[in-house]
Structure 1
Amino acid sequence: MSEGTTPRGRVMQRWRRAAIVGLAAVAVALSGCSIQITSQPDPSIGADTMLINADKGNPFFTKNFNPYLTNTRTASRWIYEPLILINPLDGTQNPWLASEWTQPDARTIVMTIRDGVTWSDGEDLTPEDVAFTFQLLKDNPSLDIKGAWQHLDSVDTSGDDVVLHLKTEDAPSLSILGQTMIVPEHLWADVKDPGTYRNENPVGTGPFVLGNYNDQQYSMDKNPDYWQADSIEIEHIILPATNSQLDTVTRGYDWAYSFISDVEGTWGAASEHNNWWFPPGGVIALMPNLEVAPFDDVNVRRGIALSLDRDEIAETASEGYMKPAGQTGLILPNQQQYLDPSIPDQGMITQDRDAALAAFAEAGTHSTATGSSGPTASSSSSP
């Protein structure tokens, strides 16, 4: 490194080396061995109960069912519900606690709150609960995890409707605001510090209520008064705190969202009833802070994108179960209808070492290649 190298230059050099020779290392090292094991379901678990791998303790659970805290229990999403339920696979917007909505103009959304919905303590869901929830997020910005008030100017009620007034003409606001989890005003209005409130005795409108709880396992029971109770077949759900891959395979789990190495030779071989699939249900991406150097430079980001061997990452990180990630941010093939057909190769970028180096050089660095592992930065100029 030359004597004139700036701190920014040193950061860029380190990132350049990492991009060329080390980005594939974000993949998880996995065991390739297969062992012969069998699944032995717990005979004490009834046929109307599901044992699932869906929540993890560290190694114990913290009793937290505040849907707006980042460390809330997984099951809080089965207790609280949004106005609109969005299918992540294809983007379909389903009326939920809002039975319908209209947009009389580009800055107004009118949500009609579903009639006949009750909280699990028997109280009716009202438009005032919805308006209260949005006000709660405004008064406690740390809870506004989806940024509702980046879009909202004000909220009021009119009969069965909640009227959302937007700051600007804002197309994405419907899905963002619609995913707000609604909480009961009659219980939350007296909470002194919602930002730290753990909500240990949750009351919601969702399909399940909290059953037995300890720091190693908790259960969820079907809400008999749920507004869609007839569509819920499972009576109980059990969620253990510790869920190793071996536990998932051998203890008779009914369902899990978990990566299991050699899934066919382990989970699949343990029982003829065990099935698995890897639906494309999320965006796989690197998300740098564009306000911080060196990521504020488009050429640095371009260099990183061109450095990635996406095929190798997909193969190493998921044993080929997942396809390489593209550049569009779309979940394909589910969201194919939104893909611009003029984008080459559906947004897939092939690793191009020379183009990556050129992009980094354009950002203000240059290098000389040493050996076969990739280039080593030798000097840098401040942009």
Structure 2
Amino acid sequence: MFLQTKHRRARTAAVAAAAAAALLAGCSGPGESSSGNDALVVFTGQSGDYQRNYNPYSPTLIDGPGTIFEGLFFYNLTRRAEPEPLLGTAYRWNEEGTELSVTLRDDVKWTDGEKFTADDVVFTLDMITKYPTMNGTGYKGKATAVDDTHVKISFDKPAFMEGPQILGKIWIVPEHIWGKIKDPSKDRIENPVGTGPYMVDDFKAQAFTLKANPGYWGGEPKVKKVRYLSLSGNQAGADALAAGKIDWQTGPVPDLANVEKNYPGYRAVTVPMNQTALFTCSNSALGCKGPQTDPAVRKAIYHALDRGQINSLAFQNTSSEISPGFALPGRDDKIISSGLKDRTAPMEPDVATAARLLQGAGWTKGSDGIYAKDGRKLELTVKVVSGWTDYITAVDTMAQQLKKAGIKLTAQQLSWNEWSDARGQGEYELIIDALTPGPAPDPYYLYYYFFSGATTAPVGEAANPNFSRFKDAAVDGALEKLKSIAPDDTAARQEQYDVIQTRLEEVMPYIPVLTGGTTSEYHADKFTGWPTQEDLYAFPAIWSRPDHAQVFKKLKPAA
């Protein structure tokens, strides 16, 4: 299940500076929170009121996956390794890839005391099948409880690639509670009951707290409380870090290269993973409107960007090259298609190519230097979350660059809730965001999540997470074939990757910007056990679920 946080950057809009100051004033001295030294204070980038929503299948949840609700296994995206058992202890495929058998733990209880069984797994899988907006993985199997600790999942066709999605990205919920909910796809689940290491402690609009689950099957976490703060954006996060008021944040701070000097007691880790892009509402057949529905416009923007300048001004040179086929450079080098015109997106602008593409599509430059067609100027609005200073700087930089190419770009800052709603409903022209990986280090999952016709919807309906409304028969066909090819048949898989990547470069529903270097700053003097470059046991981003829960479980208060 894809949940942008993101997501990958689960960050929201600006609030008054006074509110942020009040929150910080509520904490004690440097390195301590109001909850004590065994409390971890985190900042996800949230800058606006939290809305109490712990539904792990909601695109506007504030937390839940990994902390409150668990999957069957944990897949580490940063390295190729066997998945770590969670609610599941073992799994196996039959030879044809049509049946997946899973063994479950026998010592797990829900936080209300009820026993966790295979019936809960079957109920969850049946539930997301019934409600398409909850089924972000495209699950189409049939689950059966063999007994309390064994589940069999059958498929009509070979479905090897379904394994990591089912095992690592579907959050198991209690049948005895969720079975009574009229429409679980819309319920906010304000008082969740889960199997995870944490439970809800308290909630306020500007902060909420999770507390350790004393009955957790893996043992009660050493970090007894996790407190999530809402501040007024990236600068407030950096200020709170400097004051020792937060223990973990993921996002930019000034002078990243000297974190240990500028923030005594803290360290930083940077990992390339999420791929920054301009999301476009691309499909006019599904209701998208605006110049960005023209592929020539999207490709002109792609060629007109000065990525080196964007990296320097917005991202402190922590980002790196991106491929227009969206395989991840470095990790996926062997998979990047030889059929691409650009193996990686050009770092320098090519205004001449942008002009040729626009003129070939019937756009004419006016006396003001801006292209127009059929009486409409090539003017586009990019929605961005207030407080996301790196993204705001990136959009402002792009606007200056694209003006030279005859394209007018205007930033529109919104609260995270407004931005998230617009993204989900397709009510936008451009949005700056990131494409995130799936449950395993294989680009198949990113392709299925963001480019499959099965994960989108008409404008006005919730899409999750193919927000661009992209639908393409060739891509859908290649994705379907990949499901049935064994993971070790690299030659057969590459044929389908070639189809997908070359088509994405040709149509470009998401305009590649850069591969983001995700940087987290963490309080090493207060807690031990953090992920490091030498031990990346999880993707170290506070907004990455369920990775953050793996970190919470690993941390211990320093002596």
**TM-score normalised by structure 2 residue count:** 0.53
Counterpart-to-counterpart distance in 2, 1:121 and 1:250: 39
Contact 2:324 2:342 in 1 (8 A): no
> Match for residue 261 of structure 1?
254
1:58-207 aligned at under 5 Å gives the runs 58=48, 60-90=49-79, 92=81, 94=83, 95-104=85-94, 105-144=96-135, 146-148=136-138, 151-159=139-147, 160-166=149-155, 168-178=157-167, 179-207=169-197
- CA distance in 1 between counterparts of 2:160 and 2:351 reads 38
From 273, 276, 280, the equivalent of 1:284 is: 276
Which SS does the other structure have where 2:270 is aligned? coil
2:351 corresponding residue in structure 1: 353
Seen in structure 2, the aligned counterparts of structure 1 residues 80 and 98 have a Cα distance that, compared at 3 Å, is: same
Contact 2:201 2:210 in 1 (8 A): yes
RMSD: 3.3
The residue identity in structure 1 corresponding to 2:162 is S
Name the CA distance, whole Å, in 1 between partners of 2:44 and 2:223: 16
Deviations 1:64-101 (A, max 9, x none): 21111122113554111112322232365614323222
> CA deviation digits over 1:177-218, x for unaligned, max 9?
331111011111112232332222211111111223333322
The amino acid that maps onto 1:152 is: K
How far is 1:282 from its partner? 1.5
Show the counterpart of 1:319: 316
Q: Secondary structure at the match of 1:102?
A: strand
How many pairs are equivalent?
333
2:229 maps to which of 222, 240, 250: 240
Instruction: Name the CA distance, whole Å, in 2 between partners of 1:339 and 1:112.
Output: 36
Measured against aligned partners, the alpha-carbon deviations of 1:330-373 in whole angstroms (never above 9, x if no partner) come to: 34434446446897885243433333333334444465898795
Equivalent residue letter for 1:241: S
Q: What secondary structure, in the 3-state scheme, does the structure 2 residue paired with 1:152 have?
A: coil
Please name the residue that 2:200 is paired with: 210
Q: Per-residue CA shift, 1:25-72, capped at 9, x if unaligned?
A: xxxxxxxxxxxxxx83347543322111136252x3222211111221
Assess if the C-alpha contact under 8 Å between 1:250 and 1:270 holds in 2.
no
Does structure 2 retain, via aligned residues, the 8 Å contact 1:49–1:235?
A: yes
Aligned AA for 1:161? Answer: H
Cross-structure match for 2:519: none
Equivalent residues of 1:67, 1:181 under 8 A apart: yes
**d(CA) in 2 for partners of 1:275 and 1:52?**
15
Question: What fraction of aligned residue pairs are identical, expressed as a percent?
Answer: 22
User: Aligned pair in 2 of structure 1 residues 138, 252: CA closer, same or farther (>3 Å)?
Assistant: same
CA contact (8 A) 2:322 2:329 kept: no
CA distance in 1, matches of 2:359, 2:160: 38
**Equivalents in 2 of 1:344, 1:44: separation in Å?**
55
3-state SS of 1:347 partner = coil
SS at match of 1:285: strand
Matched with 1:28 is: none
1:196/1:345 Cα in 2 relative to 1: closer, same or farther (>3 Å)? closer
What is the TM-score normalised by the length of structure 1?
Answer: 0.74
Which residue type is aligned with residue 319 of structure 1? Q
Picking from 300, 304, 313, the partner of 2:301 is: 304
Looking at structure 2, the residues matched to 361 and 134 of structure 1 have their Cα atoms a distance apart, in angstroms, of 50
CA contact (8 A) 1:209 1:221 kept: yes
Q: Letter of the 2:179 partner, please give it.
A: A
1:16 maps to what in 2? none
Could you tell me which residue of structure 1 aligns to residue 212 of structure 2?
222
- Runs of 5+ consecutive residues of structure 2 not aligned to the other structure: 1-28, 370-400, 408-559
* Range with greater deviation from structure 2 (123-132 or 192-201): 192-201
CA contact (8 A) 2:256 2:316 kept: no
Distance 1:363 1:313, change over 3 A: same
Comparing both chains, which one has the higher relative contact order based on Cα–Cα distances under 8 Å and sequence gaps of 6 or more?
Answer: 1
What's 1:50 paired with? 40
Mapped contact 1:129–1:183 kept (Cα < 8 A): yes
Give the whole-Å Cα distance in 2 for the aligned partners of 1:135 and 1:43: 42
In structure 2, what is the Cα distance between the partners aligned to 1:361 and 1:110?
Answer: 56
Distance (Å, rounded) in 2 between the aligned partners of 1:357 and 1:117: 61
Per the TM alignment, residue 162 of structure 1 is displaced from its structure 2 partner at its CA by 2.5
Q: Which residue of 2 aligns with 1:36?
A: none
Compared CA separation, residues 209 and 308, structure 1 to 2 (3 A)? same
Determine which of 262, 268, 274 is the counterpart of 2:266: 274
Q: CA deviation at 1:128?
A: 1.0
Is the alpha carbon distance of 1:345 and 1:375 closer, same or farther for their aligned partners in structure 2, counting shifts above 3 Å? closer
CA–CA separation in structure 1 for the residues paired with 2:343 and 2:119: 45
1:85 maps to amino acid: F
Q: Counterparts of 1:366 and 1:139 in 2: how far apart (Å)?
A: 49
Structure 2 residue aligned with 1:252: 245
Aligned to 1:41: 31
Aligned to 2:404: 374
Contact 2:35 2:225 (8 Å CA) reproduced: no
Which stretch shifts more, 364-373 or 134-143? 364-373
Deviations 1:297-330 (A, max 9, x none): 6555443332222212222221212224332423
State the SS of the aligned residue for 1:177: helix
Gaps (5+ residues) in structure 1? 1-38, 378-383
